Amino acid sequence: MEHELARELNEVLQGTTPGALLSGMGKRLYFPKGIIAQGAEAKQFGRVADGTLGIAVKHKTPLILSPLQKQAPLLSAGEIVSYAPTAGIPALREFWAGELRRKNPALGDAAFSQPAVVSGLTAGISAVCDLFLDEGQTLLAANPSWDNYALIAQARRGGNLRLVDMFNESGMDLSALRKAMTEEAQKTGFVRVILNFPQNPTGYSPTVREAKEICAMVRGIAEKGAGVLVICDDAYFGLRFEEDIEENSLFAYLADMHENVFAAKIDGATKEDFAWGLRCGFVTFAGKNLSGSHYDVLVKKTMSVIRSTISCSSTVAQNMLQKIYSIDADTLRAEKAACRAVIEGRYKKVRALVDAQKGRGALQPMPFNSGYFMSFKCKNVDAESLRYKLLHTYGVGTIAIDKRTLRVAFSALDDECIDEVYALIYRAAEELAE
My answer on whether omega of the bond before 144 falls inside 30° of 0, hence cis, is yes
- Cα–Cα distance measured from residue 409 to residue 3, given in angstroms and rounded to the nearest whole number: 46
Pick the CATH number of 4-31+86-325 from 1.20.1250.20, 3.40.190.10, 3.40.640.10, 3.90.550.10: 3.40.640.10
Residues 263, 100: contact at Cβ < 8 Å?
Answer: no
> What does the radius of gyration of the chain's CA atoms come to, in whole angstroms?
23
Residues 26, 130: contact at Cβ < 8 Å?
Answer: yes
Mean pLDDT (the chain) is 93
Within 10 Å of residue 365's Cβ, how many Cβ atoms? 21
DSSP label at residue 412: G
Class of domain 330-433: alpha beta
- Which amino acid is present at 328? D
Residues 167, 173: contact at Cβ < 8 Å?
Answer: yes
Interval 84-140: pLDDT, tens: 999 999 999 999 999 999 999 999 999 999 999 999 999 999 999 999 999 999 999
Q: Which of 246, 198, 241, 238 is nearest to 103 (CA)?
A: 238
- Cα–Cα distance measured from residue 186 to residue 188, given in angstroms and rounded to the nearest whole number: 6
Rounded to an integer, what is the distance from CA 64 to the centroid of its chain? 33
3-class DSSP assignment, residue 242: coil
Beta strands in 128-241 (DSSP E): 138-143, 160-165, 190-196, 227-233
Give 3-state DSSP helix, strand, coil % of the chain, rounded to 5: 50, 15, 35
Q: Which of 413, 369, 406, 368 is nearest to 389 (CA)?
A: 406
pLDDT recorded at residue 170: 87
- Cα–Cα distance measured from residue 179 to residue 151, given in angstroms and rounded to the nearest whole number: 25
Interval 138-191: pLDDT, tens: 999 999 999 999 999 999 999 999 999 999 988 999 999 999 999 999 999 999
pLDDT recorded at residue 35: 61
Residues 279, 120: contact at Cβ < 8 Å?
Answer: yes
pTM of the model: 0.93
- Cα–Cα distance measured from residue 52 to residue 40, given in angstroms and rounded to the nearest whole number: 9
Residues 93, 318: contact at Cβ < 8 Å?
Answer: no
Within 10 Å of residue 402's Cβ, how many Cβ atoms? 16
Tell which wins on pLDDT, 44 or 194.
194
pLDDT greater than 80 at residue 62: no
Reported as a pLDDT band with limits 50, 70 and 90, residue 391 is very high
**All structural domains of the chain with their residue ranges:** 4-31+86-325, 330-433
CA atoms within 13 A on the CB side of 263: 32
